[in-house]
Structure 1
């Protein structure tokens, strides 16, 4: 825990030292979460009037003549005390507030990596785990998200921290209530994180197939195979499945799932009510009411569609700097950002997994989680726009760094 605290302090210090001065001394021009918190303090779900001029009408939803913040609301809850103490949204240095929170994700990631080491899921040592946590903080798009501080990037800072805490509690299905709560808060911050529930589901299945929780040191060889039906040359797949089903501790599995689901379901219920109270429909999040230039494509293709896949994959895999013949910096990047492998080259290491990794249960569970979380942003109508690298990869970067371990 002391090392995790040191990681938090170091990361936060560096984030502050490298932040633009205006982030520390004034609110950002896109302080949507502070505006939402201020609305709550005044007993409203809408803004009570048009957005402030400094926000340039950027990503506000208009419905029935009222203006709303369409983004998931949990980061606004974190700003409530700041707004209350400051007496209003404009008095809150929201960029600075999120800098204080930015050290949580790398510190929690370090705790996750250490848990993997202790349970013999990883062969990394403590120093290597510190290095991986710092690489996440400063060598991925998380760094640029933390330094931005505006509404879109602030959500990623909060979401990554909640994701890391969720994983910490979800590993070995050790803390189902806290895992469900962190995932619920994550959903109220970055909606794709809801699909990371697959990791807890698979971890609970594994430990209940073992017949006990934990899987402490020395149990690794046994735990990797225990979740699968025992293999036998003269048994059919159906027979092996039957034997595995008989071994599965089903009452315990149900208890784990229900304990995990309870707080997450409450968060989802709140979100559905929040949608209904604002827009008259539990399924309406408000994005189609945004006053943005690309509203037409959302009307045509919707928020999610395979029509967007080619462009999103292009940004993720092929965005590179280009030569700038004019004055200023010799290289320039596209506003959609750089390729994932260019911003964090270490991800390329995942293409050559260590021997035996592909057969390990947790390894496959992590890749399944990456796939189900990332697919939504690949089919999403927006690339992330005006970013150093694709910011949506923050939603599953924690899982990628676990795979690196």
Structure 2
């Protein structure tokens, strides 16, 4: 048994202290949130009035089509906002409270997943701190007043639930969870093969008992197919085409996103250098302007590379090779690669690359296998670094605003 030094024993209390400070900031944001900023409320109001178009637009991502305005995103965040809007109207606040609930539930679900994977208590504690306070989850939680962040908080919770249910062999409920995640963040659909693999015992060959595999695939696939069909019909009803999500009809104000879309469209090789730098090497960047560049005015809105903001991800290198980790690794690599060619790397973000949340659940699966292989304090130290940067970000934005 390894004996911890005094300095190593202090690491976890320091992590708990930083987590407590960040939780206070989160609570403050939840109870001081302004209404009329989250477009999910507009979608909910439209549903309550039996229509799909919205009466106004709270943010940049509204599409204009045939004289009507639509929120371009999938519909589930609007469904999640129905209780708030039914009580308080479409100018309601309370979304950060909802994302905080998603945050807490995501941590509870992952605690159960790590138990399912037989992760030791100490490693489990650090993985929980990494997820909650050293990943983009904290940022999207505290920014739940915007539909982009609200949708990601919901999708991560639902994807996590799907993984939990798949590991427990409950494929129908896993299918329902990932179907709802897909109706929040479309990238969630790529978890379906991984969920099927997770439902199989490790010692069972992947290609065997074909009738059983077909039954499993049907249980998982029926809710997913229903969600895909619903989304296609939703597109058809709004924009006259099954495959038109509405992004082509967004008229951004003058700025970076409009320049990119007008010149290169939603996907282009031209975006690769910018996105690659911001994904892997771009540092935390506080902006100073004014006389002598001495006035702190904010933080780069394009964010910090995930290997800088969440350096504990380098532990993925030590993931052992097995069927589950291979499928999870392919998912992580595929989603990272795809987003390198997208017109936006997340935008309006600071110490994060928030699209990382699309593949983080798969990465956490890999880390559950990787972390127990190493007894050095490298992982805790890297988690603390990410937590400290989050605290610096909150402090900086508080000073600036």
TM-score by length of 1: 0.78
> Which SS does the other structure have where 2:69 is aligned?
strand
Q: Which runs of 5+ in 1 are unaligned?
A: 1-9, 118-123, 208-214, 229-244
Partner of 1:371: 333
Inter-partner Cα distance in structure 2 for 1:14 and 1:177:
39
> Which SS does the other structure have where 1:362 is aligned?
helix
Inter-partner Cα distance in structure 2 for 1:282 and 1:373:
23
Shift of 1:254: 0.4
Partner of 2:237: 277
> Which SS does the other structure have where 1:90 is aligned?
coil
Inter-partner Cα distance in structure 2 for 1:29 and 1:315:
31
Inter-partner Cα distance in structure 2 for 1:372 and 1:166:
19
Partner of 2:125: 130
In structure 2, do the counterparts of structure 1 residues 175 and 22 end up closer, same or farther at CA, with 3 Å as the change threshold?
Answer: closer
Does the aligned pair in 1 maintain the 2:36–2:90 contact within 8 Å? no
Q: What is the 5 A alignment of 1:59-78? A: 59-78=61-80
Partner of 2:260: 297
Inter-partner Cα distance in structure 2 for 1:203 and 1:110:
17
> Which SS does the other structure have where 1:44 is aligned?
coil
Does the aligned pair in 2 maintain the 1:12–1:100 contact within 8 Å? no
Inter-partner Cα distance in structure 2 for 1:175 and 1:33:
30
Inter-partner Cα distance in structure 2 for 1:401 and 1:68:
35
Q: Structure 1 stretch 262-271 or stretch 300-309: which is displaced more?
A: 300-309
Structure 1's consecutive aligned runs of 4 or more residues displaced over 6 angstroms after TM superposition are 10-15
Inter-partner Cα distance in structure 1 for 2:41 and 2:34:
9
Deviations 1:85-118 (A, max 9, x none): 22x111342233322222122221111111111x
Determine which of 165, 183, 188 is the counterpart of 2:161. 165
Does the aligned pair in 2 maintain the 1:185–1:267 contact within 8 Å? yes
Inter-partner Cα distance in structure 2 for 1:398 and 1:203:
13
Shift of 1:82: 1.6
Determine which of 115, 119, 134 is the counterpart of 1:139. 134
Partner of 2:189: 194
Inter-partner Cα distance in structure 1 for 2:299 and 2:56:
34
Does the aligned pair in 1 maintain the 2:35–2:93 contact within 8 Å? no
Determine which of 150, 157, 168 is the counterpart of 1:154. 150
Shift of 1:328: 4.5
Shift of 1:16: 5.6
Inter-partner Cα distance in structure 2 for 1:83 and 1:404:
39
Inter-partner Cα distance in structure 1 for 2:21 and 2:189:
31
TM-score by length of 2: 0.79
In structure 2, do the counterparts of structure 1 residues 332 and 12 end up closer, same or farther at CA, with 3 Å as the change threshold?
Answer: closer
Partner of 2:324: 362
Matched, 1:344 2:294: no
In structure 2, do the counterparts of structure 1 residues 28 and 50 end up closer, same or farther at CA, with 3 Å as the change threshold?
Answer: closer
Inter-partner Cα distance in structure 2 for 1:15 and 1:80:
29
Shift of 1:332: 6.2
Determine which of 332, 345, 362 is the counterpart of 1:383. 345
RMSD: 2.5
In structure 2, do the counterparts of structure 1 residues 291 and 20 end up closer, same or farther at CA, with 3 Å as the change threshold?
Answer: farther
In structure 2, do the counterparts of structure 1 residues 194 and 59 end up closer, same or farther at CA, with 3 Å as the change threshold?
Answer: same
In structure 2, do the counterparts of structure 1 residues 76 and 333 end up closer, same or farther at CA, with 3 Å as the change threshold?
Answer: same
Matched, 1:79 2:41: no
Inter-partner Cα distance in structure 2 for 1:162 and 1:387:
22
Partner of 2:51: 44
Inter-partner Cα distance in structure 2 for 1:155 and 1:249:
38
In structure 2, do the counterparts of structure 1 residues 203 and 321 end up closer, same or farther at CA, with 3 Å as the change threshold?
Answer: closer
Partner of 1:107: 108
> Which SS does the other structure have where 1:19 is aligned?
helix
In structure 2, do the counterparts of structure 1 residues 15 and 31 end up closer, same or farther at CA, with 3 Å as the change threshold?
Answer: farther
Determine which of 204, 222, 227 is the counterpart of 2:205. 227
Matched, 1:321 2:317: no
Shift of 1:23: 4.1
Shift of 1:179: 1.1
In structure 2, do the counterparts of structure 1 residues 17 and 371 end up closer, same or farther at CA, with 3 Å as the change threshold?
Answer: same
